[in-house]
Every structure is written in C-alpha cells, then in structure tokens.
Amino acid sequence: RIFSGTVTNNGFRRADFVRVIGNLFDQTTSNTGKDSVFVKGTRIVYESKVIADTALEPGEVASYSLTVPIKKGKRADYHTMDIHWEQTN
C-alpha cells in the first residue's frame, strides 16, 4: 500500500526527527504490514554534530510518501497512521 500526505507542526516548538508510521491489519486485527518514513523538513545541525533534515518548525508543513509492504499470503483490510517526533533543545 502506498500512502502520501502532509504533516503540519501545529505546536509552539520545533519537532525533531518527525516520522510517519503506517500499520496494516486484516479483519481480525492481526498486523499484516508495517513501515515508516521520515518527513523531508528543515535541515538542523544538533549540538551532538548530527545533521538531519527531518525537523519541522512551528507552522511548517512537510510531505511524505510511504510504501508499506503486505506480508506474503496476508490481506490488508484496515490501516492506521501514527506520527512520532522528538523534542530536543
């Protein structure tokens, strides 16, 4: 399954390492697939010298495209989407 969309930071602080997680389920709610992708956001150099482009400033919008493979021999009847992020200083 291919999912695409946008994520908006509606908060008042920067969201770091923003990741969209897709889960697929069959009719019995057994997991039939899971994967995730980081959004393409603002480039940040952290104090640890890590460089990433997965941050969203307040009000910023980022797009994503996520392909979630279905386990062999399984069906995907339902899906959920989660958004995870970190807050660093």
Rounded CA gap, 51 and 53, in Å? 7
What pLDDT sits at residue 60? 96
Low-confidence ranges of the chain (pLDDT < 70): 89
What pLDDT sits at residue 89? 66
Distances (CA, A) of 74 to 30, 63, 64, 81, 83: 10, 29, 25, 19, 25
Average pLDDT of the chain?
94
